[in-house]
Chain A
Amino acid sequence: MNFKVRKIFAIFILVLLLIISSSNYYGIKGIDNLAYVVAIGLDIGDTENLNLSLQISVPNNSDSSSGGSSSQSSSVVVNSIECPSISTGITLFNSYLGKEVNLSHCKVLVISENLAARGIEEYLYTLINDVQFRSDSNIIVSKCDAKTYLEYSTPVLDKVSARYYEIAPTSSEYTGYTESITCNEFLSAMTYSSAEAVAILGSINSDQTQNIPSESSNKESYYTAGQTPISGESGVENMGLAVFNNDKLVGELNGLESICHLIISNKLKNAQIRISSPIENLDYIDLYIELEKQSKSSVYLTNSTPYIKSKVTVNAKMQSMNSNIDLNDQNITSKIEKSAEAFLEEKLSNYLYKTSKELHSDIDQFGLYALKYFTTQDEWKSYNWLHHYKDAFFDVDVNLNLRSSYLLVNTSEEE
């Protein structure tokens, strides 16, 4: 190709690019044509159909309260519809709203407890199959119905709902009371033959739950979603985990059990535990814990029955303090360590037996450590790990190191 032709061709391409980039294609859909869904709620409808709720973002609406309950964020509306399937529901919404529903900004999938108990496989696969739906959206099982959950999910300290949904599950990093589970992680665990799935447990924190009996006052980490005695504006609360067997909800874990789950599955970042004090001047001791190294689990098969050993190493910082406590005293720290180790061993053991005997659900993926005993998939399938898990025995060994306190080390008074 000679130089002149090349030059003409280059100019032609340049002009074409300029025309295309500066023109407004008739098919392009902008913010005016789309209704952006922030959260999806799934529930059982009155007629045994699916009840699909969508929390939709309202752009440039900062003052007016629109739809839902009074506590609803002003920038979102919640609409629900009874429909035979998710796709049908979305099509009906398209017709009703006069805008095309777009799921590409959806951050949360909320499924009611009732629907979860019936099985959610079909809905999850349908959503994951949707191009717009991001599989990194969080999955929440709501103890109340999904629509109510969406209506009450008020971002108190945030203005944008989507941002709120992004940030809220990360609280598990410093509380350990739940875990940030995405739809993709849920689906992976659900389909895997060596594990079962968990989801975030959520509920509304209402006036009834806020008037909790006084006997529970020392059991802050034993609450599940909706039970925390927080007085304030009613809102949603994510605490604990919903446990699944295959695609069906089989039980729930409270805050402390969630911490145990995170410890065993090596996902714990930080958490607080409260133990009975072995030293004078304190009734209870609050410890801020983190994993020192990865928890090691081993599975042994004795007569086809799994025997599971877990070794946990935890670092702790002492949060509680009172007068006349000398943390330089080796005896005191040793006593605290022993007491905390016993506490954690008991709780971890109880938690593991609960998942095995009560829930029959291997949510800590112990099956992975049993795979080495099988050479082929056929052998593994015929053994049926998830069936044998309910007969499992556990042995938990906790090593806790009290590393430090915070600002105070010694508060011994002069004699």
Chain B
Amino acid sequence: MNYTKLGNFEAICFIVILFINHIVLNLPQMILDNSGTSSILNCIYIFILALIFTLLIVKLLKNFTGLDIIDISEYLGGKVLKILVGLLCIVYLVMEAAFLTRMFSKNLLLLYFNNYPISFFLFVFLFIGVVANFIGRKSIIKTNTIITPLALISIALTFIFVIDLFKFEHSLPLFSNGADKIFLYGASNVFAFNGLFFLFFISPLLNKKEDTPKVAFISVLICGILLILAIATLIFAFSDIYYISRLSPIYFIIVNSKLSGFLERPELIFIFIWALALMSFISIAIMFCINIFRKIANMEEKNSKSLSIMFSCFIFVAAIIIDNVFQLEKIANAFYKYGTIALVFVVFTIILIAANIKKKRLK
């Protein structure tokens, strides 16, 4: 298949962009609600878990260099498994894009555009995704390599602005709701590293296929550090962060930072960058959906561009189907958590292990 090849940096940006979109929405709040004052401890724990998982995946992928999870599924279970896994991946990407777009649009409407219909924002974001896919993969990859570092810097900057509010005692009691909530139930927070989804697809896209482990570990490292930094900042700077759930904790940091002493609405700059990050992720999600669909349907590349309209329609419908915001948040949070764990950490891992066993037996 004729893929546009990725450099290591571009591949890292692919993995990190999903994480960025989650962290600017409600990922920190989900972890804080779950682990309270022990959230930092929990983040370090899930970071270690993610590193161990990455190590395992990298080892398992070693025997399948240049193949993605769809190819490996075909190798393991033939066309049936390939189609099944492919459809699961498409559903996952469509739902991720739908929920992220809807949540971001909802926040934009609440904060700045009260009188606009939500469908307008969904349309704008998805239109950009369709156009990007029509223009070509190369433009999506290049745009993402510009936007991802920009978004990373914007998030890192938000932490610096509230350093003066830090009180380390806010992270006590250390074990908050008990050790079991950190190490047993808290292990499910590993879903925060959902960018690892792309790890199962980037191997055939890489220029140097042997660099897959390098790309994987650097991506996890970036996500882990950023997550710990985000949670630590929220805990150290704001004592009420456990008691009051807010729209977006990172947005809350900016609104309450010293930056608002210099600028009237500093959050607007950040929201603009995050909107770009969302557009970039939507383009990537549609691009991957097309690639997966082409693989499972054995489709020619020249006929596939118009598929972006179909996938954007799916995303649009999935995003708009739930009207009630409270319900939407519950379903979206459950999907982020259990959908990621089920697909990325369970299904993909089982497929890889089984494929490795099959390969050993055949040898």
Task: Check: B4 CB closer than 8 A to any chain A CB.
Answer: no
The A-B contact count (CB < 8 A) is 61
The stretch from A84-92, A186-194, A270-278, A327-335 touching chain B is: A186-194
Instruction: Mark contacts of A362-405 with chain B using CB atoms, 8 A cut-off: 1 yes-contact digit, 0 otherwise.
Output: 00000011011011111110000000000000000000000000
Instruction: Mark contacts of B31-42 with chain A using CB atoms, 8 A cut-off: 1 yes-contact digit, 0 otherwise.
Output: 000001100000
Task: Check: B77 CB closer than 8 A to any chain A CB.
Answer: no
Point out the residues of chain A lying under 8 angstroms from B175, CB to CB.
Answer: 375-376
Point out the residues of chain A lying under 8 angstroms from B170, CB to CB.
Answer: 368
Task: Check: B167 CB closer than 8 A to any chain A CB.
Answer: yes
| CB-CB under 8 A for A375 and B255, given A191-B244, A192-B239 | no
| CB-CB under 8 A for A188 and B172, given A1-B135, A1-B136 | no
Task: Check: A131 CB closer than 8 A to any chain B CB.
Answer: yes
Point out the residues of chain B lying under 8 angstroms from A27, CB to CB.
Answer: 115-116
Q: Is the interface of B mostly helix, strand, loop or mixed?
A: loop
Point out the residues of chain B lying under 8 angstroms from A9, CB to CB.
Answer: 131
A9–B128 CA distance with the chains assembled, in angstroms:
13
Point out the residues of chain B lying under 8 angstroms from A188, CB to CB.
Answer: 238-240
The chain B residue with its CB closest to the CB of A380 is B173
A189–B243 CA distance with the chains assembled, in angstroms:
11
15 CB-based A-B contacts, threshold 8 Å: A1-B135, A136-B256, A187-B244, A191-B243, A191-B244, A194-B239, A195-B239, A368-B169, A368-B170, A368-B172, A371-B173, A374-B172, A377-B36, A377-B37, A379-B173
Contact B172 A131 (CB under 8 A): no
Contact A371 B169 (CB under 8 A): yes
Question: How many interface residues does chain B have, given as a range?
Answer: 20 to 34
Point out the residues of chain B lying under 8 angstroms from A377, CB to CB.
Answer: 36-37, 173, 176-177
Task: Check: B1 CB closer than 8 A to any chain A CB.
Answer: no
A194–B240 CA distance with the chains assembled, in angstroms:
11
Contact B111 A371 (CB under 8 A): no
Task: Check: A79 CB closer than 8 A to any chain B CB.
Answer: no
Task: Check: B134 CB closer than 8 A to any chain A CB.
Answer: yes
Contact B239 A135 (CB under 8 A): no
Task: Check: B63 CB closer than 8 A to any chain A CB.
Answer: no
The chain A residue with its CB closest to the CB of B111 is A131
Q: Which of A6, A131, A184 contacts B110 (CB 8 A)?
A: A131
A372–B36 CA distance with the chains assembled, in angstroms:
15
Point out the residues of chain B lying under 8 angstroms from A374, CB to CB.
Answer: 172-173
Task: Check: B174 CB closer than 8 A to any chain A CB.
Answer: yes
| CB-CB under 8 A for A192 and B110, given A375-B175, A377-B36 | no
Q: Please report A residues at the B interface, Cβ cutoff 8 Å.
A: 1, 6, 9, 27, 131, 134-136, 184, 187-189, 191-192, 194-195, 368-369, 371-372, 374-380
Distance (whole angstroms) from the CB of A163 to the closest CB of chain B = 13
Task: Check: B7 CB closer than 8 A to any chain A CB.
Answer: no
List 5 A-B pairs, minimum CB-CB distance, nearest first: A371-B172, A368-B169, A188-B240, A192-B239, A191-B240
The chain A residue with its CB closest to the CB of B113 is A27
| CB-CB under 8 A for A369 and B169, given A131-B110, A135-B256, A191-B243 | yes
The chain A residue with its CB closest to the CB of B176 is A377
Point out the residues of chain A lying under 8 angstroms from B114, CB to CB.
Answer: 131
A377–B36 CA distance with the chains assembled, in angstroms:
9
A263–B115 CA distance with the chains assembled, in angstroms:
48
A380–B176 CA distance with the chains assembled, in angstroms:
9
Q: A9-B131, A192-B243 are in contact. List 4 more A-B contacts (CB 8 A).
A: A184-B256, A187-B240, A374-B172, A375-B175
A378–B177 CA distance with the chains assembled, in angstroms:
7
The chain B residue with its CB closest to the CB of A375 is B175
Contact A376 B178 (CB under 8 A): yes
Point out the residues of chain B lying under 8 angstroms from A368, CB to CB.
Answer: 167, 169-170, 172
The chain A residue with its CB closest to the CB of B244 is A191
Contact B244 A375 (CB under 8 A): no
The chain A residue with its CB closest to the CB of B37 is A377
Task: Check: B65 CB closer than 8 A to any chain A CB.
Answer: no
Interface residues of B in 220-277 (CB under 8 A from A): 238-240, 243-244, 255-256, 260
Point out the residues of chain A lying under 8 angstroms from B110, CB to CB.
Answer: 131
A372–B174 CA distance with the chains assembled, in angstroms:
8
Distance (whole angstroms) from the CB of B132 to the closest CB of chain A = 11
Point out the residues of chain A lying under 8 angstroms from B176, CB to CB.
Answer: 376-377
Point out the residues of chain A lying under 8 angstroms from B36, CB to CB.
Answer: 377
